[in-house]
């Protein structure tokens, strides 16, 4: 992509259902007239189609502050007709896409939380989790690797880079009653699940797991207060009141080959975790955006 000046790079946006040119211009902090001028193929602003690609000129936004807010946005929409299809209720299919197109597709999940990939320093890696929501009792409580974690960055030459990993972002009932925190003080420990949002993680090490990523600050976690295997509104309300400390319990770490090994952590099969860790490079801290796609 052509470069205008430091940290200003043209960007490709794939239109999703319900968007307008005005909304897209606002999202990228540019004027509507600039957006239209950069996309002469759009003859009428009222006739844009889901799946169309737009060139975003000199896309730039302030580099987001690394924080750990509690953010639970509306569910992420499935990719529309014309864009990569989305099986299993919304997980994007990226087979057949080149690396740059994958980067552009994933950038739309990051931007929902103010993380504009085009505004980040080169070689700065950011993490994305895409969740297919599962009951904690799936596979008899062993958990399921049906989520995806993405590492995205631009290399020293400005080329877009993406690595994708099969992962798990939810707890499994295998640890029911033995792991977690008693959030509602009923004498029973409650499993925790990291809600959608923007977080900051850093590299660390533990005797149990070896290499890990742990939250930089305490983060909010929804606890399964009613132990039904799901994380609903009542669980959320009770968890907010509990003001729980989860800095050392919601990690990124190796799971097992046949069980996810998660009581709330983001886990991978061992070989997949090794690939993930290698993709992190020498960087120590990472922004992590987690979105539910189904």
254-275 confidence digits (pLDDT tens): 999 999 999 999 999 999 999 9
What stretches of the chain adopt beta strand conformation (E)? Answer: 3-5, 8-14, 53-59, 126-131, 147-154, 160-167, 192-193, 197-206, 210-215, 222-223, 252-254, 266-268, 285-292
The pair phi, psi for residue 240, each rounded to 5°, is: -60, -40
Highest-confidence range of 73-82, 213-222, 245-254, by mean pLDDT?
A: 213-222
Residue 75 pLDDT exceeds 50: no
SS3 category, 171? coil
pLDDT value at position 8? 42
Residue 293 pLDDT exceeds 50: yes
User: Which of the pair, 66 or 18, is modelled with greater confidence?
Assistant: 18
The mean pLDDT of 215-233, rounded to a whole number, is 88
Domains by residue range for the chain, with CATH: 1-60 (3.10.350.10), 62-292 (no CATH)
Residue 217 pLDDT exceeds 90: no
pLDDT band at 123 (very low <50, low <70, confident <90, very high): very high
Has this prediction a pTM greater than 0.85? Answer: no
Residue 59 pLDDT exceeds 70: no
Ramachandran assignment for 113, one of left (phi > 0), alpha (psi -120 to 50 degrees), beta (any other): alpha
pLDDT band at 252 (very low <50, low <70, confident <90, very high): very high
pLDDT value at position 74? 36
- Give, in order, the Cα–Cα distances in Å from 152 to each of 63, 91, 277, 289: 15, 17, 13, 11
The three-point CA angle 167-170-174 to 5° equals 105
The bridge status of strand 266-268 relative to strand 53-59 is unpaired
Listed range (120-124, 151-155, 236-240) with the worst mean pLDDT: 236-240
pLDDT band at 12 (very low <50, low <70, confident <90, very high): confident
The mean pLDDT of 233-244, rounded to a whole number, is 68
Listed range (73-87, 101-115, 207-221, 224-238) with the worst mean pLDDT: 73-87
Measured from the Cβ of residue 7, the count of other Cβ atoms closer than 10 Å reads: 17
């Amino acid at each position: 992509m052509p470069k205008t000046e430091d940290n200003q790079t043209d960007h490709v946006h794939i239109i999703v259902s319900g968007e307008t040119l005005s909304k897209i211009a606002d999202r990228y902090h540019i004027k509507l007239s600039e957006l239209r001028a950069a996309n002469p193929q759009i003859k009428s602003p009222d006739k844009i189609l889901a799946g169309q690609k737009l060139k975003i000129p000199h896309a730039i936004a302030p580099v987001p502050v690394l924080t750990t807010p509690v953010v639970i946005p509306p569910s992420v929409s499935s990719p529309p007709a014309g864009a990569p299809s989305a099986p299993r209720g919304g997980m994007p299919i990226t087979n057949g896409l080149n690396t740059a197109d994958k980067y552009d597709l994933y950038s739309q999940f990051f931007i929902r939380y103010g993380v504009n990939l085009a505004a980040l320093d080169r070689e700065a890696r950011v993490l994305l989790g895409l969740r297919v929501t599962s009951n904690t009792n799936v596979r008899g409580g062993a958990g399921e690797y049906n989520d995806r974690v993405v590492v995205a960055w631009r290399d020293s030459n400005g080329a877009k880079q993406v690595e994708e990993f099969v992962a798990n972002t939810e707890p499994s009932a295998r640890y029911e009653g033995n792991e977690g925190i008693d959030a509602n003080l009923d004498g029973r420990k409650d499993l925790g699940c990291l809600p959608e949002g923007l977080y900051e993680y850093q590299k660390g090490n533990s005797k149990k797991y070896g290499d890990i990523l742990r939250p930089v600050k305490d983060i909010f976690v929804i606890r399964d207060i009613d132990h039904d295997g799901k994380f609903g509104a009542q669980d959320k309300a009770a968890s907010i009141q509990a003001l729980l400390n989860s800095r050392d319990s919601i990690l990124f770490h190796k799971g097992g080959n046949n069980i996810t090994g998660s009581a709330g952590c983001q886990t991978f099969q061992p070989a997949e975790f090794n690939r993930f860790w290698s993709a992190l490079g020498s960087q120590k801290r990472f922004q992590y955006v987690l979105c539910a796609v189904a």
